Structure 1
Amino acid sequence: MAQTADHGGGVRSLRVPIPDNPLGHTLVYVVDTDRGPVLVDTGWDDPGSWDALTEGLAACGTSPGEIHGVVITHHHPDHHGLSGAVREASGAWIAMHAADISVIRRTRETRPERWFAYMADKLAAAGAPEEHLAPLRAARGRASLPGLASALPDREIVPGELLDLPGRRLRAVWTPGHTPGHVCLHLEEEHPAGLPGHGRLFSGDHLLPEITPHIGLYEDPDDTTVTDPLGDYLDSLERIGRLGPAEVLPAHQHPFTDAPARVNQLLTHHEDRLTGLLALLTTPLTPWQLAERMEWNRPWDRIPYGSRHIAVSEAEAHLRRLVKLGRAEAVAGSDPVTYVAA
């Protein structure tokens, strides 16, 4: 399969591998501007990924040293990981939404052992068994997590505003849910192949052609605000559906058309999932117990250790949504807390 693709109109993409991940790769987009190429996302921070980025840029007729700027859809390491290396090679600016910049700043300033303690406490509160918590408690001070030292952006993406890309019209659309500061980027230019619709959309992980992005809790050890990431995501989806781009250029899988139809599929999927969870909540369950019973892409006993954290976070996000809608409630006095259909 070709490692680079020309999408016309001065937009190309290249595949940057994600080590040991079923997604396989991140699609990094190269957008020509009057001041040189600008990247939308950069890929995972790994020597093989850097080589792929360098080779892909060479195939596009450029190099890391010629990059003018980097626009990041969200802070996750398969999108933001190589941004610092690109900036070091070229002096490029790095732009990100303020909410995700604050995540980057917080993770850079927080010792790894505090993150492990925080995760252990969160999982204990969600009802995780001791055999799952023990490795986290043992890892304090001895391990690190990807993204803890990622590059601090130096420009802020302001929702609704055009980015400073000379010769292009690229407008930021704030689409929280997958992360608090996720943005899609609307290229407000006629589609090069004349497809009907309103320009093209760099959708990051917000809108993908065949899979649904992870929607979990926003993690902040110092913030006690009760957020609703799934509600944020569903609202953001509807906003993108109304935008009606001619083509979507996602960060994974492949470009596609008919964004409103895909949006409707995802809205239906999440409503079906919420309804299915209510059927499970006829008896009180902790978030961990709910995650064990939810439908994933494999049986629970085959889900890797680290992926179970993600699954429980997704279960909690769905529980938050059900509670906010008045369709489920916490059982008073339960510890760890259990939830039941209202």
Structure 2
Amino acid sequence: MSQPTDSSRQQLREVATGVYQIELPTPFSVGPVNVYLLKGSEWTLVDTGPHTSAAWDTLCGALKQLGCQPADLSQVVLTHHHVDHVGLLQKVREVSGARSLAHPLAVPFVEMDETFMAYHNQFFYRLYRESGVPERLLSVVEKYHRMLLTFCQPASIDVLLKHEQPLPGLPEWQVLYTPGHSQSHLSLYRASDQVLIGGDHILKQISSNAFIEPPRDPAQARALPLVQYRTSLQMCAELEIQLVLPGHGEVVTDHRELIAGRLQRHWERAGKLRSLLADGEKTAFQLSALLFPGLYEQELALTLSETLGHLDLLTMLHQLEIRQKEGVFYYSL
């Protein structure tokens, strides 16, 4: 096997026994995404990166450094369905014939079923209007749809994964359901050396956004992602973990301290919302503009999800009242 160049050393490194981290470029503000190659009797890829030529070329180059190629991959495990993690899945499947594994709630997003995607868009149009978002900003829904079509190809999921089952083909890894950042989020835990492949669940530099998502069944109420996220974090805080291998950024070695800080900041933001409501009722959009004055229009989906998540938390604790007027929800103390 040829020796890695300085550039490829930065993009490929062994971060735990038989676990190789590959850093792939993305066109998104979050920056590069980490995918992982697991060495067993066969090769398993965890996440794929976005559907771009730069990500594909980097992935192929990293595999070459390990003496393999995309055709050698036997399975692809998805931590969650976001485009920066799944965009290349179909291309990998076409080249390798690898089977794909994910949580059941990832399926309609990854398959990009037309009926589901139409419902997905209508869900957000309604949510944003109910949150008081001005009509001029509703184009963000179509913008998001175009982004999906640009950086992701529809793909099938072959195997559905559930909480605490052994990972097929690699039984030393246990599947953990860690929803919050997305409804489909999974992490992988290897108890023998206390390593967690955490996707976007636990990141060192940034707090993962708990994104609002439509329920799979339109008849159901949407989930409360920040409440879910806090529960998932608390579950991981109880685990013995030496290393968290994240979807973005650096390896985490102090997961309990980091989680405690994240949970505390949730309460601090909830307190900030209460103070913003002290002078009268406001919509979620108005509160988002006050919380994120330089960001709320450019990153509407992110900032509104963050705001709604904390409003969900306060509402669940009976600290807020909600009234509806002309199709818009208003929050008050």
- Structure 1 residue 313, shift from structure 2 partner: 2.3
Structure-1 residue corresponding to 2:316: 324
Normalization by structure 1: what TM-score?
A: 0.87
Answer yes or no: is the 8 Å Cα contact 1:244–1:260 preserved in 2.
no
**Matched position secondary structure for 1:158:** coil
Cα shift readout 1:220-259 (whole Å, capped 9, x = no counterpart): 4824414211111000000001012111100100112121
Cα shift readout 1:170-228 (whole Å, capped 9, x = no counterpart): 001111111112011002223xxxxxxxx100000000111111112122482441421
CA distance in 1 between partners of 2:277 and 2:25 (Å): 39
Answer yes or no: is the 8 Å Cα contact 1:4–1:13 preserved in 2.
yes
State whether structure 2 residue 288 is matched by structure 1 residue 291.
Answer: yes
**Matched position secondary structure for 1:337:** strand
| 1:61-210 to 2 correspondences below 5 Å | 61-105=67-111, 107-110=112-115, 115-133=120-138, 135=139, 144-146=146-148, 149-166=153-170, 169-190=172-193, 199-210=194-205
Amino acid at match of 1:178: H
> Superposition RMSD on alpha carbons, in Å?
2.2
- Would the alpha carbon gap of residues 248 and 340 (structure 1) be closer, same or farther in structure 2, given more than 3 Å must change? same
- Would the alpha carbon gap of residues 323 and 41 (structure 1) be closer, same or farther in structure 2, given more than 3 Å must change? same
Cα shift readout 1:10-56 (whole Å, capped 9, x = no counterpart): 1111111111x23221111111011x210111111112111111111
CA distance in 2 between partners of 1:159 and 1:95 (Å): 13
State whether structure 2 residue 241 is matched by structure 1 residue 245.
Answer: yes
Aligned equivalent of 2:213, options 215, 218, 238: 218
Answer yes or no: is the 8 Å Cα contact 1:12–1:60 preserved in 2.
no
- Structure 1 residue 76, shift from structure 2 partner: 0.5
Q: Specify every segment of 5 or more residues in structure 2 that has no aligned partner in the other structure, as ranges.
A: 1-6
Percent of residue pairs identical: 27
Normalization by structure 2: what TM-score?
A: 0.89
Aligned equivalent of 2:23, options 15, 22, 44: 15
- Would the alpha carbon gap of residues 136 and 308 (structure 1) be closer, same or farther in structure 2, given more than 3 Å must change? closer
Amino acid at match of 1:41: D
Aligned equivalent of 1:56, options 62, 77, 90: 62
Amino acid at match of 1:72: L
- Would the alpha carbon gap of residues 39 and 132 (structure 1) be closer, same or farther in structure 2, given more than 3 Å must change? same
State whether structure 2 residue 31 is matched by structure 1 residue 24.
Answer: yes
Amino acid at match of 1:131: R
Answer yes or no: is the 8 Å Cα contact 2:48–2:87 preserved in 1.
yes
